[in-house]
Amino acid sequence: MIIIVILIFFGNPTLIYSQVHLPVIDMVTGFDILGHDRDLRKHWLYRALAMFVDMLIVFFVVGGVLVMMDKNTIITAGLVSSIALFLYSGILEAVAGATIGKKIFGLRTRYLGNRDSNPLMMIFRNMPKALWYILLPIDTLIGLAGRGDPRQRLFDRLAKTTIIHTGESDYYHSDSVDDILDEANKEASPEPISTPSEEAPTKDLEGKCTSCSGELVPTSGDKYKCLGCGRIQ
């Protein structure tokens, strides 16, 4: 989760796409929107903090049990805490729609299918937490790198779930997407380069000399000679 927070709040995700010249017009990703939408950055900050609270709860309980059982090795603690975090998150979201950490920060898990809730999908979306130190960052980064709701991890899209904060809609919409598309259109459509046009030798519309108003007669080429002053024009 620390890696994700650093990427979101201290990096410049849109710079990555501009450097490799990906067409933003065809691929507006969660990283693109993060660079423009302050509310989305706040949303992900709350989720990272909620995850931190949940991990503290699980690790405290698991650590206490393992110490009592005298099996407090690094490998055992890592495996048991991962499974416990998956079960803790999946069961609480299936039953109550949120973990303790999510409730503290005003977050709630929503199912986007054709019914109000789907406990099985709530559990399924938490599967990366069974190996949270590897799968969860990958799951989050792939979700943000794709198109669609920038609040969804990869497993959220597979499970048709999302996380909403108090006051947010189930379906994400922001003017930031329109701003990104406008900027991309401007970059994709450069202004035409104006070239100086070649002008033919000029004479006034009445066929008179511009100096003495004398009569002009054609000479060699596209030139004209004034019969009054002899000037070549």
Residues 39-57: pLDDT tens digits?
Answer: 999 999 999 999 999 999 9
Position 147 in a domain:
yes
Do 182 and 113 lie in one domain? The reply is yes
* pLDDT for residue 57: 97
Round the average pLDDT of the chain to a whole number and report it: 81
Do 208 and 183 lie in one domain? The reply is no
Over residues 195-213, the mean pLDDT reads 57
Is the Cβ–Cβ distance between 31 and 144 less than 8 Å?
yes
CB 90: neighbour CB atoms within 10 A? 21
Please state the domain count of the chain.
Answer: 2
Do 12 and 105 lie in one domain? The reply is yes
Position 193 in a domain:
no
Do 207 and 156 lie in one domain? The reply is no
Do 107 and 82 lie in one domain? The reply is yes
Position 28 in a domain:
yes
Position 194 in a domain:
no
Do 80 and 116 lie in one domain? The reply is yes
- Decide which of 160 and 220 is more confident: 160
* pLDDT for residue 84: 97
The confidence band for 221, taking pLDDT boundaries of 50, 70 and 90, is low
Percent of the chain with pLDDT over 70: 73
The confidence band for 196, taking pLDDT boundaries of 50, 70 and 90, is low
Distance CA 142, CA 186 (A): 28
Do 34 and 102 lie in one domain? The reply is yes
Do 51 and 159 lie in one domain? The reply is yes
Distance CA 80, CA 199 (A): 83
**Going by C-beta distance under 8 Å and a sequence separation of 6 or more, which residues neighbour residue 224?**
201, 203, 216, 217, 218, 232, 233
State the residue range of the domain holding 150: 2-188
Token couple for 140: 């989050």
Do 180 and 212 lie in one domain? The reply is no
pLDDT tens across 101-140, in order?
A: 999 999 999 999 887 789 999 999 999 999 999 999 999 9
